[in-house]
Chain A
Amino acid sequence: MRMNARLRETILIGFMALLLSGLFSFDIHSPTAFADHEFYVIVVLIATASRFSWMPAIAAGAGTVLTIVGGLGIPWFANLPPWIQIGNRSITIVILWVLVWFAWKRRQAETALQKANEDLEHKVVQRTQELATVNRTLIIEITEHIRTEQALRLSQGRLAGILDIAEDAIIVTEYDLSITLFNQGAVKLFGYDPNDVIGKPIDLLLPERFWIDHADHDVFAKALDSDRHMAQRRDVFGTKKDGSEFPAEASISKLIVGKRITFTVIVRDITDRLRTERQLQSLTTELMTAQEEERRRIARELHDDINQRLALVVIEIGNMLSDPSTMTSQVKGTIQSLSQRLARISDDVRHMAYQFHPSILDDLGLTAALKHMADEWSDRTGIKTVIVQEETADFLPRDIASCLYRVAQESLTNIMKHANAARVELELTCDDQEIALSIYDTGVGFDLKDIQARHPGLGLVNIRERVRSVRGRLDIQSELGRGTRIVVTIPFCGAPYEETTNSLG
């Protein structure tokens, strides 16, 4: 291509030189009046075809020089005035340069056009590149979007799946507590179709007494600790579509997305759990009663049956001995020793029976039994024991008496084991409604939180269960270094179990 251009240029220059020299010789040999120098114009015109913008000027320059030289070189004719000759030649020169000027102008215009063209092309290329970039970005974005959408759909699907397989009822509400999501668990629990409840206030699912005052509808928000965004409530009830109520546990969480606040309420029916808890409790009570009864039965068996039979044998032996004629002194001695051994066995059996069940409680009543226990304990441990008792009502139910006796027993055992006390005070007081036993020791005391957080001693668990079984109230007051007071209050007609603990004031 390049070679071609150069070749073309060379041919052009050669042709121009040839033409110039031809024209020149023609000029100087032709008659003066014949203005053949005008033909230099052709050379200039040809020069415009050159690549170089200066080529027409070179051609014009050469034409000018040749015109002048031609004018000087040719023989002057007398018949023509010189000014014609000069005028002709001047016109030629002017025409030549005018042509150059035009050529230059055109060339300039061409260059400008070309430049503009180039600029445009450049711009187009640039724009195309930009567009390509944008396009690429767009494609990436779209791909990303599609992928995100798929992920979202998947995650939504998963969420929906989770929501649907969740056993718990999951309900999402707007800030105004209108329901926006109602999962399968909720459908199962409440009996409503999602379409029945979406957009309705959550009150629909609550018994009337729990209806949320809508003038104060941020009650949910208030219920939530602003730090935790979570609230748990156990003492709530739900209402099913058929109007029946059920005890529930609800955890409410607040979700803030941008300026929008939603609540997620997870409701769990705790009917079964409560029933199980109650069953467990009544089972414990039954178990303790059964245990007490069984011990009582074994004790009675030992004491009243075996021991009475032994006693009878002793009586009969005695009877035999009282008639001296029936035996020799040797036999008498043997029988006496047998009788004594039997008496000892009888004592042992009685002691064993007492271990199982203190018959004193049935025979002499609670106050005598407590006094007996306290005296015996004091003798054994050397700890001063002060006991003040109010004569109890004529008929103290056996389970209450048993409970108080066992609580006192457990407490004294605990005091002996752990308290390092110098003094113990037992007080039994009663009125028409309730009977109260207070056991106070001046020992080392304990940290209530500590004992509750860690495993409480079996003694304390026993006490708690026993008191619960007779629907009593247990109050434990203790402080390190300031002793311990345990107060058990049992109403004569049952009220629910209660327990409090606090530091000694």
Chain B
Amino acid sequence: MKKPRILLADDHTFVIEGFKKLLEDHCDLVGAVEDGRALLEAVINLQPDLVILDISMPRLNGIEAAKKLKKQVPAVKLIFVTMHADMAYVDAAFRAGASGYLLKRSAATELMQAVQSVMNDKFYVTPLITKEVVASFLKPTQTRLATIDDLTTRQHEILQLVAEGLSAKEIADQLKISHRTVEFHKTKIMEQLHVHTTTDLVKYAMAHGLITAS
């Protein structure tokens, strides 16, 4: 099998040195950069198969860099190796287009394995955080449909006014907020309640007694 071409991105040179030792026997290390902007340029210039990157980086953080990279060079694979075990980070990383996520403290044992998985078009998440990942799937608010109780007071007002047949502009005038904000809330409500048309929204409001059919 051809050695994967790998680009390293971390603002700590000693970490890069560490990774190099771990990978140099099995991979083709095409380069190393220390911030997000340099990473964007390097990817375009060096065309690596895989980027191993940190999240906390100067100038442009790893998440933002990943989003841009995925737009510019969709084929490139990304593995985050970071200090952050928090689900918010994991979530953000995968949403930004990551294929792998590991923690620095387990990098020595897992990095090579992660590279192999990702190069085989699989995803890799470090076993250190799989418990939290699963827990986040099981979290009730994440799975069940939002109810009327999950709407904020403002969303409630907007839903009511939409159901009463007011236009976004009229609602904006009445609530003294911008037209754009009303649109945002309306879209958000529909998203939260899993309804797709204004008619469905009105039906929902009626079903929940916000307005009465008359």
**Using a Cβ cutoff of 8 Å, how many contacts connect chains A and B?**
114
Whether B178 contacts A431 by the Cβ 8 Å rule is: yes
Q: Which of A77-85, A107-115, A303-311 sits within the interface?
A: A303-311
Bitwise, A286-329 to B at CB < 8 A (1) or not (0) is 00000000000000100111011111101111110110000000
CB within 8 A of B56: which of A303, A309, A312? A303
A433 to B, closest residue via Cβ: B178
Bitwise, B49-82 to A at CB < 8 A (1) or not (0) is 0000001100001110000000000000000000
Which residues from 158 to 213 on chain A have a C-beta closer than 8 Å to any C-beta of chain B? none
Q: Does A388 contact B (CB under 8 A)?
A: yes
Whether A316 contacts B152 by the Cβ 8 Å rule is: no
Q: Chain B, interface size: which category?
A: 35 or more
With a cutoff of 8 Å between Cβ atoms, the chain B residues found around residue A319 in the complex are: 18, 21-22, 108
Whether A314 contacts B152 by the Cβ 8 Å rule is: no
A354 to B, closest residue via Cβ: B86
Q: Does B27 contact A (CB under 8 A)?
A: no
Q: Does B203 contact A (CB under 8 A)?
A: no
Majority DSSP secondary structure for residues of B touching A: helix
B11 to A, closest residue via Cβ: A304
Q: Does A368 contact B (CB under 8 A)?
A: yes
Tell me the smallest distance from the CB of A373 to a CB of chain B, in Å: 10
A440 to B92, CA, bound (A): 27
Q: Does B153 contact A (CB under 8 A)?
A: yes
Tell me the smallest distance from the CB of B53 to a CB of chain A, in Å: 12
Q: Does A363 contact B (CB under 8 A)?
A: yes
Whether B109 contacts A322 by the Cβ 8 Å rule is: yes
A303 to B104, CA, bound (A): 12
Whether B12 contacts A386 by the Cβ 8 Å rule is: no
A440 to B181, CA, bound (A): 17
Q: Does B204 contact A (CB under 8 A)?
A: no
Which residues from 424 to 480 on chain A have a C-beta closer than 8 Å to any C-beta of chain B? 425, 427, 429, 431, 436, 438, 440
Whether B88 contacts A359 by the Cβ 8 Å rule is: no
A311 to B15, CA, bound (A): 8
Whether B104 contacts A350 by the Cβ 8 Å rule is: no
Whether B108 contacts A390 by the Cβ 8 Å rule is: no
B112 to A, closest residue via Cβ: A322
A343 to B83, CA, bound (A): 10
Whether A425 contacts B153 by the Cβ 8 Å rule is: yes
A353 to B, closest residue via Cβ: B83
Q: A312-B18, A316-B18 are in contact. Are A388 and B107 (CB under 8 A)?
A: no
Whether A364 contacts B14 by the Cβ 8 Å rule is: no
Whether B89 contacts A363 by the Cβ 8 Å rule is: yes
Whether B109 contacts A311 by the Cβ 8 Å rule is: no
Q: A308-B14, A362-B56, A388-B155 are in contact. Are A318 and B109 (CB under 8 A)?
A: yes
Q: Does A371 contact B (CB under 8 A)?
A: yes
A388 to B91, CA, bound (A): 18
With a cutoff of 8 Å between Cβ atoms, the chain A residues found around residue B91 in the complex are: 368
Which residues of B come within 8 Å of A, CB atoms?
11-12, 14-15, 18, 21-22, 55-56, 61-63, 83-86, 88-89, 91-92, 104-109, 150-155, 177-178, 180-181, 184-185, 188
- What are 13 A-B contacts with C-beta separation under 8 Å? A304-B12, A305-B12, A314-B105, A315-B15, A318-B109, A319-B18, A319-B21, A343-B105, A347-B85, A363-B55, A388-B152, A425-B154, A431-B181
Q: Give the 7 A-B residue pairs with the shortest CB-CB distance, closest first.
A: A318-B108, A311-B104, A425-B152, A315-B108, A372-B88, A314-B105, A308-B12
Which residues of A come within 8 Å of B, CB atoms?
300, 303-305, 307-312, 314-319, 321-322, 342-343, 346-347, 350, 359-360, 362-365, 368-369, 371-372, 386, 388, 390, 425, 427, 429, 431, 436, 438, 440
